Amino acid sequence: MKNAETPVIKVVLYGAMSSLGSALMAELLRRQHEVIAILDDLTALAPRPGLRTKTGDLFDPERVKQSVAGASAVVCLLNAPGLPMNSEQVERTLVPGPVEQVLAVDALIAGMQAVNISRLFLVGDFALLDEEQADDDLQRHAAEEMLDALKSSALQWTLINAPYAAPGLGIEHFSQVSTSLEPGLAETLERLNRVAVGIADELRLNLHVGEHVSFVPAN
């Protein structure tokens, strides 16, 4: 049963099949928001109240436009496995590389602006932007390109540093507190949950628009 005083926020999520995506879905659903997960395989997630799945293509502005229409905000986990990509010009890979990430952000900007959806949370390797000397020049260049594109857009964007995440964590790991966790898993769950809570709070309070933030301390 929904609390009548809770404003329902409709969030489109790219990257739902990742560990952070699972943490985000659990946190947003806990707050009684509606989550629309954009997937290649609509059967990949079990049905849950408040959760919808849609097919889409993160690299096609027209498909992005169709996927995000009517939403309150979009969250895109750029380095998540299983991102929807059906475009012929993009080679299907497990996780998009720097060049593909730039293409994805360009498509997101065009698709969201076409239907006047302005709030975007972009999670990726943005800690490189704060480093004087980056180990990965290509990823650093891609992050700068994405930042420039966002600054030139009409979107209300927030960049978020991607936390380290153990693979294979599903929404059920974050939906209930378990005392029988595998050794070492509790810290990862806590870290990802902290990021999910941070994004959900930013969404509700509309904080850090046009800024680059991190919700976990650097290791």
Proportion of the chain above pLDDT 90, given as a percent:
59
Distances (CA, A) of 75 to 95, 111, 156: 17, 14, 12
Q: What's the domain range around 186? A: 10-213
Confirm whether 92 is domain-assigned: yes
Confirm whether 3 is domain-assigned: no
Average pLDDT over residues 131-156: 89
Confirm whether 2 is domain-assigned: no
Residue range 17-44, pLDDT digits in tens? 999 999 999 999 999 999 999 998 888 8
Distances (CA, A) of 79 to 1, 152, 160, 181: 34, 23, 12, 26
Q: In the prediction, which pLDDT does 8 show?
A: 78
133 compared with 98, residue with greater pLDDT: 98
Minimum mean pLDDT range among 79-83, 91-95, 144-148, 176-180:
176-180
| Non-local CB neighbours of 130 within 8 Å, separated by 6+ positions | 212
Confirm whether 16 is domain-assigned: yes
Confirm whether 175 is domain-assigned: yes
Residue 164 near residue 191 (C-beta atoms within 8 A):
yes
pLDDT-derived band at 169, boundaries 50, 70, 90: confident
Residue range 1-11, pLDDT digits in tens? 455 556 679 99
Q: In the prediction, which pLDDT does 111 show?
A: 98
Confirm whether 5 is domain-assigned: no
- Say yes or no to pLDDT of 94 above 90: no
Provide the CATH number for the domain around residue 208: 3.40.50.720
Q: In the prediction, which pLDDT does 43 show?
A: 86
Q: In the prediction, which pLDDT does 181 show?
A: 57
Q: In the prediction, which pLDDT does 44 show?
A: 87
Number of domains in the chain: 1
